[in-house]
Amino acid sequence: MSASYPVIKEGLSLTFGQVGLVALTYQICASVFQPAFGLLFDRHPNPWYLLAGSASTAIGLLLLSLAGSLYPLMIAVAFIGLGSSIIHPESSRLTHLASGGRRGLAQSIFQVGGNLGGSIGPLLAAAVVAARGQRYIAVFAGIAVIAMLTKGRIIRWHRSIDQRARPAKRVTTRQRRDMGRGRVRLALGLLLLLIFSKYVYAAGLANFYTFYLIEKFGVSARQSQVFLFVYLFAAALGTLLGGPIGDRVGRKHVIWASILGAAPFALLMPHAGLVGTCALSVLVGLILSSAFPAILVYAQELLPARVGLISGLFFGLAFGIAGISAAILGSVADARGIERVYDLCAYMPLLGLAALFLPDLKRRQA
């Protein structure tokens, strides 16, 4: 989505605040419904949910290619967001079932698919949308339809294994008894705070990175999308590494090292030149993105009988925080300039200090 914003902003003469509002619409529709869908999928698993999510995404992309003003644009991104809201909790639940005990690795592989798609998005936007116009977004609706056609085998496997692999509620009860309900709630609260810090910063970096480079360094729209691709590719690589490292050394260590470890580079970025900004964005993307697979699997291990609910809650919260932050930061950019956004966001990774207070689940399991 973020890769198409410069083309849409120019074509429809939108302000930064309106771009933020579009991002908010997408993120809210991709977040508010996710916990409810996750709870539904835990109670009534059905492999056809995957097809429904892809269908909603395809409809949204087709409408997006035809949108000629702000409100049709918001309706289009709402469909895209709803598709995401359906796909994420069910796919994450399926990934948990297929992990074979290596949950961090499985979650990373699942998430890196989306991240790689997001990193390739700017290149495709530059080659197709920026070169030919907004109407060619319809090409990507065709890709969503192809994705629907490839899910038949997954649906058959899902149907055969799900009845045999549903987690029992007594597992959650034992986990709560071992740690105490208070500590479980505290751990979940700390994880939510860490999601907040990560995605406020990520919203500023991903949604406004192209505008920042254009305004501060005078690069072209196509060049800015190449830089965005580099950042998003680094984020995808970090996502791939975070899960298996968490399986090996413990998720708590990955969580605090990834969020707090990104802080020095985030603080330096507003003061760097073009090459330095690109290099620092790669480091921030690589380090910071490794946190989410570890956070999600850590939360699933706290409540193993509610994998769908936890997945929907954390994916939904991530999308919701990103959307609200995009709207607020868009207004800040209109009022104070786009560089001010990066000055403010640079301090968010410091909240990674909260991860030091998480219980070490790996040690408890041992």
Give 21-71 pLDDT, tens digit per residue.
Answer: 887 788 778 777 788 888 887 777 777 788 888 889 889 888 888 887 888
pLDDT tens digit sequence for 151-169: 777 777 766 665 554 444 4
Mean pLDDT of 279-307: 86
Residue 302: CATH number of its domain: 1.20.1250.20
pLDDT higher than 60, residue 363? no
Mean pLDDT of the chain: 79
Q: Which two tokens stand for residue 48?
A: 């056809």
Residues 32, 54 contacting (CB under 8 angstroms) = no
pLDDT category at 364 given cuts 50, 70, 90 is low
| Higher-pLDDT residue of 243, 156 | 243
**Domain containing 360: what range?**
2-365
Check residue 204 and give its pLDDT.
81
Residues 252, 355 contacting (CB under 8 angstroms) = yes
Closest CA to 233 of 124, 122, 116, 105: 116
Mean pLDDT of 245-273: 88
Residue whose tokens read 């590719």: 233
| Higher-pLDDT residue of 46, 224 | 224
pLDDT category at 130 given cuts 50, 70, 90 is low
Model confidence, pTM:
0.67
Q: How many domains does the chain have?
A: 1
Spatial distance between the Cα atoms of 226 and 288, rounded to a whole number of angstroms:
20
